[in-house]
């Protein structure tokens, strides 16, 4: 699976995104690896940082 990452916030997004929904930076294409999935599944997100 191909993913894209934001050079500013370093978050990863599915390939369909072209710009980071967090900070608006243009995303860079990268090859998705199983190790990245495990790492991201353990990442906690502070929901107070975002308006839902």
Q: What are phi and psi of 15, to 5 degrees?
A: -60, -20
Q: Is residue 10 part of a domain?
A: yes
Within-domain flag for 51: no
Residue 43: band (very low, low, confident or very high) from pLDDT cuts 50, 70, 90: low
Of 48, 52, 41, 49, nearest to 12 by C-alpha is 41
How many domains does the chain fold into? 1
Residue whose entry in the numeric block shows the structure tokens 């900070």: 23
Contacts of 38 (CB under 8 A, 6+ apart): none
Is 15 a domain residue? yes
Q: Are 16 and 6 in contact (CB under 8 A)?
A: no
Cα 40 to its chain centre, rounded Å, is 9
Asked whether residue 25 carries a pLDDT value surpassing 80, the answer given is: yes
Domain contains 52: no
In a domain, residue 45? The reply is: no
Write down the pTM of the prediction.
0.53
Domain span at 8:
2-36
**More confidently predicted of 5 and 49:** 5
């Amino acid at each position: 699976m191909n993913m894209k990452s934001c050079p500013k916030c370093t978050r990863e997004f599915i390939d369909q995104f072209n710009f980071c929904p967090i900070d608006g930076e243009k995303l860079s294409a990268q090859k998705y690896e199983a190790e990245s999935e495990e790492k991201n599944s353990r990442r906690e997100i502070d929901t107070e940082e975002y308006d839902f």
